[in-house]
Amino acid sequence: MRSVNERPDWWRPIWLCLAGEQPLPNILPVMAYRPEKVIFLYTDYKPSEQAARRGGKFLKEKYDIKTISKRTDAFDTKIVTEDVMRLSMEHGLGNVLLNWTGGTKPMSLAALQALPDMVPTLYFDSRRGVLI
C-alpha cells in the first residue's frame, strides 16, 4: 500500500465502511490511506456491531480518525439503500468513498446500487492484501 502522504485520485475524506464480523478489511485500508472520518454501517448481528465499535475505538486512539457507527438492516436492501444515501448526502457525495468489503452480501449490493458512479468505491482482497 502507498504512503499516507500519497493520496490517490479516488481518496476522499470520509469513508463509509460496511461492517461484518471481520474488522481488518475495513481497518487496513484506513490505516494506509487515513481518511479524516470513518462511518461504520453495522447490523444487529453482535459480531458486526463489535467490529464497528472496536474498529472505531482503535482508529480514534491510534490514528486520531473521527469515527461514527450507525446501525442498519443486514438483509433489507431498501433500508440499507436509504441509510447509505442519507449518510452520503449528509456528508456530501463529493467527500465520500464506499468500502463495500464487509457486511452481508445484500448490504454490499444495496450500497453499490445506492451510489452507482456517484462515489469512489473500494474492495479489499485480504487474501492478497490488495485494493480492488
DSSP string, 70-100: EE--SS-HHHHHHHHHHHHHHH-GGGEEEE-
How does residue 117 score in pLDDT terms, banded at 50, 70 and 90? confident
Beta-bridged to residue 38, according to DSSP, are 15, 67
Stretch among 15-29, 74-88, 118-132 having the lowest mean pLDDT: 118-132
User: What pLDDT is attached to residue 5?
Assistant: 61
> With a threshold of 0.85, does the pTM exceed it?
yes
Digit-coded pLDDT (tens) for 59-97 = 999 999 999 999 999 999 999 999 999 999 999 999 999
CB 35 within 8 A of CB 15: yes
Closest by Cα among 107, 32, 21 to 63:
32
CA–CA dist 70, 118 (Å, integer): 21
User: What pLDDT is attached to residue 54?
Assistant: 96
How many other C-beta atoms can be found within 10 angstroms of the C-beta atom of residue 56?
A: 24
